A and B are shown apart, each in its own frame.
Chain A
Amino acid sequence: MRPLTEEETRLFFEKLAKYIGENIKVLIDRPDGPFCFRLHKERVYYVSEEIMKKAGNISRDNLVCLGTCLGKFTKTKKFRLHITALDYMAPYAQAKMWLKPNAEQQFLYGHNVMKSGLGRISENTVKYSGVVVYSMNDIPLGFGTAAKSTTECRHTDPGTIVCFHQADIGEYIRSEDTLT
């Protein structure tokens, strides 16, 4: 476990900023005690400083995880967000998509979102920006990348993809043993 280097922090924030933009500041500067980002086994954890200090006593080999895993660095040093980060992304999301009830299952099985399944979309969603996907009754289901901007969405056929799937809460069951 160690703090992120400047380069790692940049990569991580750049990815996170696609979803929550300036709101990263809220995660860094929290009123309820200090929180920090820590790298452990190539994964980035968001953890309160108090827990981090306690975890500092545990040797690297024995430490499985701490706090909340936000994502991991791939071997080519790109950052991938994990579904576990959804709890921190959903409240601050800038672009959102709401799915119709019959499209929810498709998304939760790891498929992209079609225009036909799109219930609502937040205004001025930019193409290829990160979006958080909700069900119609405002339960966050996952996140992805907008394949079309809001205006483009209006004019497309129902069969076109409007959101590329990245992560969904179905992963808690599908890849239960790899999520940490």
Chain B
Amino acid sequence: MEVESSSSDEPRSIAVEKAIEVDIDPGNLLVSDSNEISRLQLNSNPAEYLKELTRSNTQLLINRIFTLPFHRVDDVIVAELPKPTYVLPRSKPAPKARPLSKWESYAKEKGIVKKKKSRLVWDEMVKKWVPRFGYRRAEAEHAKDWLIEVPQHADPYEDQFEKKSEEKSERVAKNELQRLRNLAKAKKVVVPAAKGLTSKVKQSKEELLTAAHTANKATASLGKFQPKVGKLKPLKGTGKKRQFEPLINNQEKAKNLSVLDKIMNKKPKIDVESVVSKSVGSGNLKRKGQGQDNYGDDEDGGQRRGGRRGKQMGTKNSKIKKGPAKKGSFKKGRASPRSGPKKKKN
């Protein structure tokens, strides 16, 4: 204790002994100590040991700072820190390169390299160097095109100057559209205008479907009150997303049991199969007899029909029985039922 208090009173030595020299980066005010940590001390009194270690390393940093060139600014001594040498890692990933525009990607694919062009070009007509683009280009153009020849088959009353400026503005508009398209492609935005009917000659099935859906939605209420048009298939990717239950949930067992209950209760009360199989000895024979009664020699057909819908057959048979007696006429294919009763009589 005594030693402690005495040390805190007097200023301690600024010299620090280290087995391995520490790396000091005064630019970042960073010290990295590669000396081994004494496990014994760290385990016995970690707080004290870490504090001591920090102090000694800080002392080394401050020692280094005092060796740096310094000057005075408004009663404050300021040391000039050198450029930092330690490369700090980025906290965020490096920015990605701008995605290539449509032309750029095409040029890359085809190996087209941009050639440097001179800014001024020699114009034969005006005998002058005129800029290729930009400042004073329009002026040069104007000087050149003070007169335009009307083409051979063109309408003579058409204003060729107006036509030319219109063409130019169209080119500008087209370029702007392409620029925006490239921008949208880079940001992966679906351009709403591209979803409607395009000016293609022949649309594909999908394109027509999207167009129909877009038209259906193009009302003030976003198609909420729009009547359904025919059998319009829903668009891809517009359905509800599936939602699954979390991996760990407590209600799972109860849910499974309720599903099981539903399945078990759904089963028909009278199990037709078992009833049939039970009465396979007596019941089936009886039915066979009936069939023979009604159908006579047409045994196969009678059995098959009887097996599926016994009740219907019964009514039919009664009709058939009555049929010939009343009307006296029968189709040739159904001649056999008639022969049945006859046989019986015989």
Binding site for B on A (CB under 8 A): 1-3, 5-6, 9-10, 13-14, 17, 21-22, 24-25, 28-29, 34, 36-38, 49, 52-53, 56, 124, 126-128, 149-152, 155
Task: Tell me whether B252 is interfacial, beta carbon within 8 Å.
Answer: yes
A-side contacts of B252, CB under 8 Å? 3, 36
A-side contacts of B244, CB under 8 Å? 2-3, 5
A-side contacts of B260, CB under 8 Å? 13, 17, 24-25, 28
Task: Tell me whether B277 is interfacial, beta carbon within 8 Å.
Answer: yes
Of all chain B residues, which has the CB nearest A49?
Answer: B248
Closest 3 CB pairs of A and B: A149-B277, A2-B244, A9-B259
For the complex, give the distance between the alpha carbons of A37 and B245 in Å.
13
Task: Tell me whether B262 is interfacial, beta carbon within 8 Å.
Answer: yes
B-side contacts of A124, CB under 8 Å? 274, 277
Apart from A56-B248, A127-B277, A152-B277, list 17 A-B contacts with CB within 8 A: A5-B245, A9-B255, A13-B260, A13-B263, A17-B260, A17-B263, A24-B260, A28-B253, A28-B257, A29-B253, A49-B248, A124-B274, A126-B271, A126-B277, A149-B277, A151-B280, A152-B280
Q: Tell me if B245 and A2 are in contact (CB < 8 A).
A: yes
Q: Tell me if B247 and A52 are in contact (CB < 8 A).
A: yes
B-side contacts of A53, CB under 8 Å? 248
Q: Tell me if B257 and A25 are in contact (CB < 8 A).
A: yes
For the complex, give the distance between the alpha carbons of A151 and B278 in Å.
7
Q: Give, as a whole number of angstroms, the nearest-CB distance from A63 to chain B.
A: 12
Q: Give, as a whole number of angstroms, the nearest-CB distance from B155 to chain A.
A: 65
Task: Tell me whether B256 is interfacial, beta carbon within 8 Å.
Answer: yes
For the complex, give the distance between the alpha carbons of A34 and B273 in Å.
37
10 contacts between A and B (CB under 8 A): A3-B245, A5-B244, A10-B262, A13-B256, A17-B264, A21-B264, A52-B247, A56-B247, A126-B271, A155-B280
Which secondary structure dominates where chain A touches chain B?
Answer: helix
Of all chain B residues, which has the CB nearest A12?
Answer: B259
Q: Tell me if A10 and B263 are in contact (CB < 8 A).
A: yes
A-side contacts of B259, CB under 8 Å? 6, 9-10, 13
Q: Give, as a whole number of angstroms, the nearest-CB distance from A147 to chain B.
A: 13
Binding site for A on B (CB under 8 A): 242, 244-249, 252-253, 255-257, 259-260, 262-264, 271, 273-274, 277-278, 280-281
Residue among B259, B271, B273 facing the most chain A CB atoms (10 A cut-off) = B259
For the complex, give the distance between the alpha carbons of A141 and B278 in Å.
28
B-side contacts of A5, CB under 8 Å? 242, 244-245
Q: Give, as a whole number of angstroms, the nearest-CB distance from B250 to chain A.
A: 10
A-side contacts of B248, CB under 8 Å? 49, 52-53, 56
A-side contacts of B249, CB under 8 Å? 3
A-side contacts of B263, CB under 8 Å? 10, 13-14, 17
A-side contacts of B277, CB under 8 Å? 124, 126-127, 149-152
B-side contacts of A29, CB under 8 Å? 253, 257
For the complex, give the distance between the alpha carbons of A5 and B249 in Å.
13
Q: Give, as a whole number of angstroms, the nearest-CB distance from B93 to chain A.
A: 21
Of all chain B residues, which has the CB nearest A2?
Answer: B244
A-side contacts of B257, CB under 8 Å? 25, 28-29
Identify which of B245, B262, B264, B273 contacts A149 (C-beta below 8 A). B273
B-side contacts of A152, CB under 8 Å? 277, 280
Q: A13-B259, A126-B273 are in contact. Are A3 and B253 (CB under 8 A)?
A: no
B-side contacts of A56, CB under 8 Å? 247-248
A-side contacts of B280, CB under 8 Å? 149, 151-152, 155
Q: Tell me if B247 and A3 are in contact (CB < 8 A).
A: yes
A-side contacts of B255, CB under 8 Å? 6, 9
Of all chain A residues, which has the CB nearest B281?
Answer: A151
B-side contacts of A149, CB under 8 Å? 273-274, 277, 280
B-side contacts of A22, CB under 8 Å? 264
Of all chain B residues, which has the CB nearest A3?
Answer: B245
B-side contacts of A9, CB under 8 Å? 255-256, 259
